[in-house]
Structure 1
């Protein structure tokens, strides 16, 4: 008995050490990926995505541009939208003027682990080190300036609010007099000076602080900003920085990956960094360009494009175990319900019907007619709701936040689908914007577009699980099951001697760019490794035929779709690396003809290559080259499981699964014919065998698996 107790204590201690080791590994890996900049940003200001170093706290964003003698810190805020422009607007900028640094050397890094920008600038005996950060826990921007040269340096800090130079604070209301006009209040100061200019002696340090609030944050945003700033001291600022670092440390400890290709690995971490910097629970969701708005004429209104752009940045957080990042998305979409209900009624339909272009608070920047013949926008917008429930099994969230919108989407499709010749058909739904003769607001002749078929199938499958969990709508389930069973199959065609998918059953057959031809695989989730082998074969043929490895609008979905059906892992990695090498801006955001923060999403393919849980079946390294070592920690799987594992010398090891909600667990045996020894909370438990391993779990239970 004494020996058994000692053994249990040793195993439990090993689990705790393992967890601590994983968290330390996460910090060490991201710490190695500091993004370097050797020259000022070239494309700031811009109407699209800046190529500058980026900082943010999920609400306030800062893009840093300019030469050392005139650095500019452009400020954006997710809730600062113009009424006249129907687009997010730039708040303004902070400009540091240092004449003695004209022609100075430029060296800067973005430290993702700490969410800090560090710049070092030298011009002979004149030199400055500048550190900037956006407070993770509050509405502050800090710019710390230290004289590292041997001569005094004069520094001026100018605050420009909108297009006006202000002294220490001001209120900016570009749409004054308009209904629903937004306004921001900003206060700024050098903490060691009464003015905006001071002379720094060698080794001296000063801090320029900004407090920024909108009328969404406070009824009197300027008064709030001035109050915040008046209480700031150097000591308090230092304390805020400690808390800021603690926030980011906790964030990074939630998950990690480690793979041989360090460029791809760096982009995985930059994805997490970008999304945590521009999206935060309790704040307004970011538009196309995040919170890094550097002009008042943003492309495509900087809006919420619902035919993939708004959803795409949120592809990655679920399996990366940062579900909380997606919280603003649900509020934004739920706010669209009244608009969508009204629009559906105008067309004679039930439920919600949404155009392509939407904005915060249920606004529509391009108006209700901007649907481009597409009926799939609302169901496409349902995907993050579906993923949240699948990955968290959070019934309380579903009841409060998720189900109402899902039900509205279901109402639309149950009403809109037509039943012809024993099957359900989707009529007049454009696969591409305006395809099938629809134009901006007309009727498309496209029938059974492949993406919408996938989305509708996933919608009804999800409604069954959700309604059963909530104990509601039981009378509707037989209809939903019938629709799933009798929904038209994916259309196919012959191309270059192989069967591939057709974009629609009637109408548009093929398209020369974009990736809609595989989006029924991902993000729609209608095909996976448990699908009919014939469908998987056609999926591979389709990938070969499309070959959209570098596409203006497709990178967010293409690579993950390839991984989902286990398409040539070596090819995926090689093409992913090539894309990063050729299309990455210095800040690690991908640049194509369109897109913005959506282009943080291709790294999700790595998650899918290392771990899949499609349809609730966990697979370890399902699309990973056997000759490449890799490991991951605390990735999230469907069923509310937190999963860690390693592949070393072609063997899967160190498999640990934490069950958050006590759901049944199904795993494809990573050791194939070998029996599997199960440990529950450090105690030796049952032994299982077979190609698939199934077991019950308890909430908060930690399961470890070992081959025998």
Structure 2
């Protein structure tokens, strides 16, 4: 299929030459060398901050605390701007400071800070407040910033354009200012380091390199919150809290599920080196300090919530009072070590700088927002800049909450998914009651959206009474959909402790379907469901997405039950359901069989290439369920492949909410890799932000999976129990990867060059049998197991194009053609 546009697949055209011959070097060294090249670049101040959706400014985070860098939106009178030689000539000018290079706002939010009002749309994560850093001398100056992935730092370089003599000091044109910001990986602190180039001087009445900086800390006000702020000896403090109240203008005075409080304490270091010089008195305040060459100033802010301490303000003040610049340096070392270990776990290199940048950028964003086990990132991560985030930024279970982690398992970053399950498991009592009261079934029935700690975010008196005044939007399959991530993690790790954790949820989800399914004419049928978001309570029969989730649910539950040796007596029923679920619905149009959204009901009208939002059906067919893939029945596989080929352009690029599924679906079924890569580059060019997030109108951080999952699946597929090397990659394009995680708990490293698989190494974590599609067709494969006394060749069984061999836990195996 030809693309309607012409773009080069590769910017550089090849893998970095120095890395081609390093396959015997440790994976960490190769990974770190590749990631050192990756960064987000900003040549102008952010424009989409604050926002209800995804911001475009630099992003920082440690998996809990998040900071969004933006500008300050207001107008201000600027004094003393003088472009002539007579710097005593003074005048004023009113300037628009929206997105201005001299105004920097650090928006502070945190995964565990929510307004916990259990009514739609008033239960949501909320911003805490922010720190404003104003450098008046940088007015109209140049702006450049880099979001450095290797060290998780944002570095600004600003250059003054005008002579600025009031407010003080008198700063010359052409001064270069540096600002480095980072959040320690191991502490909930924000560090901002400011410095300026040039010559140090004590004379400030003539043009110098000394720069004045204003710093303020503020709590976000409004939305029924209470705020307070005050001074410290070397800084400030601010508090924002939500607690139940009837003293507000809110339409409803629903009590909060819990009170929330967040405190920020900020301290400045080395800011008293210069006294403020004489001034005419306009445009400066006691918040100002002097930044001079050789005398950097450091700002440290501690952020604490009531989930960390019963007295957040006291704890935050204690933390900043105790810290020293020497401790900041220790934290920097720990911070960089954490990120080195993170980046060392795996790598890909494909010779395409744009795609690689977003590949690693996506992992950076997930590591920055997803490490609080009790509070997963919201729909927009831990980068909340408004009290009215779209869709209340809760955990949407009809794809938004599931999708962000779809790329972390195969990238060997499964620990980033630790927070995923917590709100789902915490919500089980409410979901259990929903099933009993609304469906008269056992099991679990989840709304579209939920919050942390069992918070109900979808209760609304304006919704359908027959759906319990909750937003189900007709869907019955949200719990089964949520189980897909659990199976992904289980199959990639075979972690039995994790399996024990999720097993009760899986069983109760199956209980719902065991009661809700109707067995008719030798098959199980799903009635009263919805293939999309509807307002009629759900009237589709055998909606394709739900049918796919339920197929994958019972298949996966049987596997987990066997591994845990639990509920043997129930497996016969589960197997019967698995074997007799209805086939996926198709529409017969002439000689063609076309994918259909539902067997009957409103969804049945959506079939063929023009059905709109084609990704909806593929959620159940291909990704993330894995029901159809390269090893599937050829007839069914061809139907899906033909469907992908027929997608119109709007299904590929600039989709509202399809990026997390479209490309991975295409490569899972073997779509033309040249076409896929060209379209992917086009998508990133259109909707990629400088902070390396990919904007989609219908969501937020779920797009972090789009590039990693697509590229990983092009290089290595394993979901059908067979390792396939470079299954959907252009054979003429060199590529390599290290320690990608495959189903069966295998870590795989390989390289493709000159159209041939050059190397293949497989590490077995759990000692499971390994099956590989022969990378060297028509040649016998030899397998060598690494040992302390050297490699030894082990027995291999060959069947058709597949190679099978036994492994042991911790075993390392090198495959090569005989």
Tell me if the contact between 1:68 and 1:103 (Cα under 8 Å) persists in the aligned partners: yes
1:47-58 equivalent positions in 2, closer than 5 A: 47-58=52-63
Tell me if the contact between 1:281 and 1:326 (Cα under 8 Å) persists in the aligned partners: no
Tell me if the contact between 2:265 and 2:303 (Cα under 8 Å) persists in the aligned partners: yes
**Gap regions ≥5 residues in structure 2:** 1-21, 72-99, 161-172, 200-208, 222-226, 246-254, 273-285, 460-467
Q: 694-703 or 199-208: which moved more?
A: 199-208
2:159 corresponds to:
122
Deviation at 1:496, TM superposition (A): 7.8
Match of 1:170 among 218, 226, 238: 238
Cα separation, 2, equivalents of 1:687 and 1:357: 51
1:154 corresponds to:
212
1:488 corresponds to:
582
Considering fraction of residues, name the structure with more helix.
1
1:237-276 equivalent positions in 2, closer than 5 A: 237-276=328-367
Q: 288-297 or 515-524: which moved more?
A: 515-524
Q: 1:315 to 1:28 in 2, by over 3 A?
A: same
Deviation at 1:601, TM superposition (A): 1.6
2:492 corresponds to:
391
Task: Indicate the SS of the match to 2:194.
Answer: strand
Match of 2:473 among 368, 372, 383: 372
Task: Indicate the SS of the match to 1:454.
Answer: helix
* CA deviation profile, 1:276-303 (whole Å, cap 9, x unmatched): 0110153410111100001111010011
2:667 corresponds to:
563
User: Are 2:469 and 1:469 equivalent residues in the alignment?
Assistant: no
Match of 1:42 among 32, 41, 47: 47
* CA deviation profile, 1:369-396 (whole Å, cap 9, x unmatched): 2001100111101111111111110112
1:13 corresponds to:
none
Tell me if the contact between 1:80 and 1:182 (Cα under 8 Å) persists in the aligned partners: yes
Task: Indicate the SS of the match to 2:475.
Answer: coil
Match of 1:503 among 597, 614, 621: 597
Deviation at 1:127, TM superposition (A): 2.6
1:284-683 equivalent positions in 2, closer than 5 A: 284-347=375-438, 348-367=440-459, 369-399=470-500, 401-434=501-534, 439=535, 442-495=536-589, 498-507=592-601, 508-509=603-604, 510=606, 511-513=611-613, 515-519=615-619, 520-547=621-648, 548-550=651-653, 551-603=655-707, 604-681=709-786, 682-683=790-791
Deviation at 1:258, TM superposition (A): 0.3
Cα separation, 1, equivalents of 2:590 and 2:56: 41
Tell me if the contact between 1:451 and 1:524 (Cα under 8 Å) persists in the aligned partners: no
1:7 corresponds to:
none
Deviation at 1:193, TM superposition (A): 4.0
Q: What TM-score do you get using the length of structure 2 for normalisation? A: 0.82
Tell me if the contact between 2:750 and 2:758 (Cα under 8 Å) persists in the aligned partners: yes
Q: 287-296 or 510-519: which moved more?
A: 510-519
Tell me if the contact between 2:374 and 2:423 (Cα under 8 Å) persists in the aligned partners: no
Cα separation, 2, equivalents of 1:513 and 1:532: 25
1:60 corresponds to:
65
Deviation at 1:495, TM superposition (A): 4.9
Deviation at 1:34, TM superposition (A): 1.4
Cα separation, 1, equivalents of 2:355 and 2:42: 18
Cα separation, 2, equivalents of 1:488 and 1:385: 24
User: Are 2:260 and 1:182 equivalent residues in the alignment?
Assistant: yes
Deviation at 1:227, TM superposition (A): 1.2
Deviation at 1:613, TM superposition (A): 0.4
Cα separation, 2, equivalents of 1:446 and 1:331: 31
1:221 corresponds to:
312
Tell me if the contact between 2:375 and 2:419 (Cα under 8 Å) persists in the aligned partners: yes
Which structure carries more relative contact order (alpha carbon 8 Å, separation 6+)? 2
Tell me if the contact between 2:733 and 2:753 (Cα under 8 Å) persists in the aligned partners: yes
Task: Indicate the SS of the match to 1:693.
Answer: strand
Cα separation, 2, equivalents of 1:641 and 1:312: 23
User: Are 2:144 and 1:79 equivalent residues in the alignment?
Assistant: no
Deviation at 1:619, TM superposition (A): 0.5
User: Are 2:127 and 1:33 equivalent residues in the alignment?
Assistant: no
Deviation at 1:612, TM superposition (A): 0.4
Tell me if the contact between 2:403 and 2:660 (Cα under 8 Å) persists in the aligned partners: yes
Task: Indicate the SS of the match to 1:100.
Answer: helix
Tell me if the contact between 2:271 and 2:290 (Cα under 8 Å) persists in the aligned partners: no
Cα separation, 1, equivalents of 2:645 and 2:456: 38
Q: 1:485 to 1:411 in 2, by over 3 A?
A: same
Cα separation, 2, equivalents of 1:286 and 1:687: 47
Task: Indicate the SS of the match to 1:90.
Answer: coil
Q: 685-694 or 575-584: which moved more?
A: 685-694
Match of 2:148 among 85, 91, 111: 111
Cα separation, 2, equivalents of 1:470 and 1:684: 33
Structure whose CA Rg is larger: 2
Cα separation, 2, equivalents of 1:530 and 1:227: 59
**Gap regions ≥5 residues in structure 1:** 1-16
RMSD: 1.6
2:75 corresponds to:
none
1:4 corresponds to:
none
* CA deviation profile, 1:332-390 (whole Å, cap 9, x unmatched): 21111111001111121111000101111121212262001100111101111111111
Tell me if the contact between 1:515 and 1:553 (Cα under 8 Å) persists in the aligned partners: no
1:5 corresponds to:
none
Task: Indicate the SS of the match to 2:420.
Answer: helix
Cα separation, 1, equivalents of 2:486 and 2:341: 25
Cα separation, 1, equivalents of 2:563 and 2:792: 32
Tell me if the contact between 1:160 and 1:166 (Cα under 8 Å) persists in the aligned partners: no
1:133 corresponds to:
182
Cα separation, 2, equivalents of 1:19 and 1:376: 47
Task: Indicate the SS of the match to 2:418.
Answer: helix
* CA deviation profile, 1:42-78 (whole Å, cap 9, x unmatched): 0111111101111111111111112332111111111
Deviation at 1:20, TM superposition (A): 4.6
Tell me if the contact between 2:27 and 2:345 (Cα under 8 Å) persists in the aligned partners: no
Q: 631-640 or 520-529: which moved more?
A: 520-529
* CA deviation profile, 1:87-111 (whole Å, cap 9, x unmatched): 1111111100111111121011000
Cα separation, 2, equivalents of 1:40 and 1:201: 24
1:686 corresponds to:
794
Deviation at 1:322, TM superposition (A): 0.3
Cα separation, 2, equivalents of 1:187 and 1:237: 16
Cα separation, 2, equivalents of 1:413 and 1:549: 34
